[in-house]
Structure 1
Amino acid sequence: MKIYENISDLQPLVGEVLGTSEWLALAQDRINLFADATGDHQWIHVDPERAKDGPFGVPIAHGFLTLSLLPAFSSTAYKVKHSSTGVNYGLDKVRFPAPVPVDSLLRAHFRLLSYEALDNGGAQLKIEMTVERQGSSKPVCIAESIVRRFP
């Protein structure tokens, strides 16, 4: 995990990787919990028997589940010591270039795309999150997240 002292320490890092998360296992129970939380019980996600005959041979995670792991990934990738909080301000581009088969190991890389100082001493950051799956040459999710960090 990379640790930064202050929000302003990020400003000169535009274009740089802020950090890379630890690996996270995506088991069927987490996929099922996400399906229950969202009401998306499509068989390709939650029915291992039927998924054997599907296009991937196993259940795959919901794309939005992969995206929703952004906070978990960022919590092990980097930290700003003197920042009281960060809030999700939205997303720009989001893509799911490859599927996430059940029991995949995932991690994310966070690259700072832009830094905009706010009047209160905080900053609005645009951060590209690229999620990779161990053993795959293609990323499974690429998203531009907009976060507001406060001192």
Structure 2
Amino acid sequence: MRVFNDLDEIRALVGEKLGTSEWLTVEQSHIDLFADATGDHQWIHVDADRAAEGPFGTTIAHGFLTLSLLPVLAASTYHIEKKRMGINYGLNKVRFTAPVPVGSRVRASAELVAAEDTKDGGVQLATAFVVELEGSERPAVVAEWLVRYYV
């Protein structure tokens, strides 16, 4: 994990890779809990028997579940020491480029795309994440995540 002392230190790195997270295994329990939380119980995610006969041969994670792993993946990629809080501001350019079969491992690499001052005294970072799927040539997700930090 890469550690930055403060926002000035990280904002100087626009255009550079910030790091790569640890691997995370996507378990059926993650998929089931996400299905319960969102109401998306499509068989391809939660019915192992039916999914075994489907196009992927097993259940797959929801695309939005894989996207929602960004906070935990980012937390093992980089950390900013001197900040009071970070606020999720949104996403740009999100694509789900490969399915994530149950039991797969994912990790994310992060590149700082932009750093801008906000009107309320914060700093907004735009970070491009590529969620890699172990053993796949294609990533599972690519997204640009906007987070506002305050000191």
Shorter-chain TM range is: over 0.9
Pair 1:91 & 2:102 matched: no
Point out where structure 1 has 5 or more consecutive residues left out of the alignment. Answer: none
Cα drift, residue 54 of structure 1: 0.5
Q: How does 1:2-151 map to 2 (within 5 A)?
A: 2-118=2-118, 121-151=121-151
CA offsets 1:18-67 (integer angstroms, 9 cap, x no match): 12111101010110000000000000000010001101001000000000
Q: CA RMSD in A?
A: 1.0
Normalised TM-score (structure 1):
0.96
Cα 1:71–1:65 change in 2 (3 A) is same
Tell me how far apart the structure 2 counterparts of residues 88 and 60 of structure 1 sit (CA, whole Å): 26
Cα drift, residue 129 of structure 1: 0.9
Tell me the secondary structure at the aligned position of residue 67 of structure 1: helix
Cα drift, residue 78 of structure 1: 0.4
Q: Is the 8 A contact 1:7 1:122 kept in 2?
A: no
Letter in 1 for 2:81: K
CA offsets 1:112-139 (integer angstroms, 9 cap, x no match): 1001023565311111111001111110
Counting matched residue pairs gives 151
CA offsets 1:80-134 (integer angstroms, 9 cap, x no match): 0001111100111100110000000010011110010235653111111110011
Normalised TM-score (structure 2):
0.96
Tell me how far apart the structure 1 counterparts of residues 35 and 145 of structure 2 sit (CA, whole Å): 23
